Amino acid sequence: MTITARASLAGVIGWPVAHSRSPLLHGTWLKRHGIDGAYLPLPIRPEDFAVCVAALARMGFVGANVTIPHKEAAFALCDEVAPSARRAGAVNTLVFRDGRMVGSNTDGVGFMANLRAHGVDPAAGPALVLGAGGAARPIGAALLDAGVVVHFCNRTEDRAARLAATIGGGVIGWEDRAAALGDHALVINTTSLGMAGHQSLTLDLARAPAGLAVADIVYVPLETPLLAAARARGLRAVEGLGMLLHQAVPGFAAWFGVTPVVDEALYRVVAGDLLT
Ligand SMILES: NC(=O)c1ccc[n+]([C@@H]2O[C@H](COP(=O)([O-])OP(=O)(O)OC[C@H]3O[C@@H](n4cnc5c(N)ncnc54)[C@H](OP(=O)(O)O)[C@@H]3O)[C@@H](O)[C@H]2O)c1
């Protein structure tokens, strides 16, 4: 649509940023709601991050998403960080307001909203989080904050132990991941295993209880080998693209003043783009 001189401007800051589906996602919502605004890809080098973010704010941008490798730098730069960002140790959403830069992290709420959209109650029982990287932290924190018992299980066990010491939860050895399934209601792959171009995650589901829900946050491919294996066993499977869509909702609402909906049509638009 045509934008006017009063358009609200936002975007996604990353390096690189060409792979990001956020412009398509936010652009679809802007069009759907007829909003006078634009959401742009903003490729910014790490060494330029601070000066460029300050410039965006000075230029009247309403805010931005922040992706790899800037999430920790954004955290350090904010005038104010929401509890979600403090728990995550990283910021993925910036709002420029009254000359101040406010940061939050929407990965945890996005993950939880996607679980619920798939009919999975996160509070049904303990959760086993595979991985201890950038995505494991906000997801683990969101589960812990919802009162869920969480165990982290990572190839590098020390990293899982440090994460648990920082945000809470326990640790299970990487080699024990299949045996531990029986003690959990939910298992989440937050590693990069299963992603196109990476090895598959090896997780024997033979001993998985019938009520286990299996979530994968990897969304390229949409149906990872883990999700396919879960479905083949009749287990509930929660795909990762929904998390990406749901985590975008709070930013859009803050910048453009409309709370958008994640629905089948939006899923099809972004999923279709992933297939091209
Ligand atoms: N759906 C969404 O909205 C969403 C959001 C964020 C991220 N993601 C996806 O989540 C994945 C992880 O992202 P991230 O930012 O957390 O990455 P990250 O910080 O680099 O962490 C990678 C994790 O994967 C583990 N890992 C990597 N290679 C492994 C291997 N060969 N065997 C066992 N474990 C291995 C690492 O374990 P070590 O500690 O042992 O190295 C670590 O726990 C990516 O595929 C990303 O695209 C999706």
Domain with 44 in it: 8-106+248-274
Q: Which pLDDT belongs to residue 201?
A: 96
Indicate if 62 and 178 belong to the same structural domain. Answer: no
Q: Quick one: 158 exposed, middle or buried, by C-beta within 10 A (0-12, 13-18, 19+)?
A: exposed
In order, the DSSP letters of 37-54 are EEEEEEE--GGGHHHHHH
In a domain, 126, yes or no: yes
Task: Report d(CA 35, CA 2) in Å as an integer.
Answer: 10
Say if residue 131 carries a ligand binding annotation: yes
Residue 12 has pLDDT above 70, yes or no: yes
Name the average pLDDT for the chain: 97
Indicate if 136 and 38 belong to the same structural domain. Answer: no
Which residues have C-beta within 8 Å of that of residue 253, sequence separation ≥ 6? 259, 260
Which parts of 78-170 fold into alpha helices (H)?
Answer: 83-88, 107-117, 136-145, 157-167
Indicate if 27 and 94 belong to the same structural domain. Answer: yes
Say if residue 219 carries a ligand binding annotation: yes
DSSP 212: -
Cis peptide before 221 (omega within 30 of 0): yes
Indicate if 112 and 201 belong to the same structural domain. Answer: yes
Take atom 6 of ligand 1 and give the residue whose Cα is closest: 135
Indicate if 87 and 119 belong to the same structural domain. Answer: no
Q: pLDDT, tens digit, for every residue of 119-169?
A: 999 999 999 999 999 999 999 999 999 999 999 999 999 999 999 999 999
Indicate if 195 and 270 belong to the same structural domain. Answer: no
Instruction: Give the residue carrying structure tokens 């909702």.
Output: 249
DSSP 90: S
Query: For position 13, which CATH number holds?
Result: 3.40.50.10860
**d(CA 221, ligand 1 centre) in Å:** 15
Take atom 24 of ligand 1 and give the residue whose Cα is closest: 191
Indicate if 53 and 89 belong to the same structural domain. Answer: yes
Q: Which atom of ligand 1 is nearest to the CA of 68?
A: 15
Q: How many CB atoms lie within 10 A of CB 179?
A: 12
Residue 58 has pLDDT above 90, yes or no: yes
In a domain, 2, yes or no: no
Q: Note if 71 is an active site residue.
A: yes
Task: Report d(CA 204, CA 110) in Å as an integer.
Answer: 27
Q: Give me the residues paired with residue 41 across strands.
A: 12
Strands of the sheet with 63-66, listed across from one edge: 37-43, 8-14, 63-66, 93-97, 100-104, 80-81
Residue 1 has pLDDT above 90, yes or no: no
Q: Which pLDDT belongs to residue 276?
A: 81
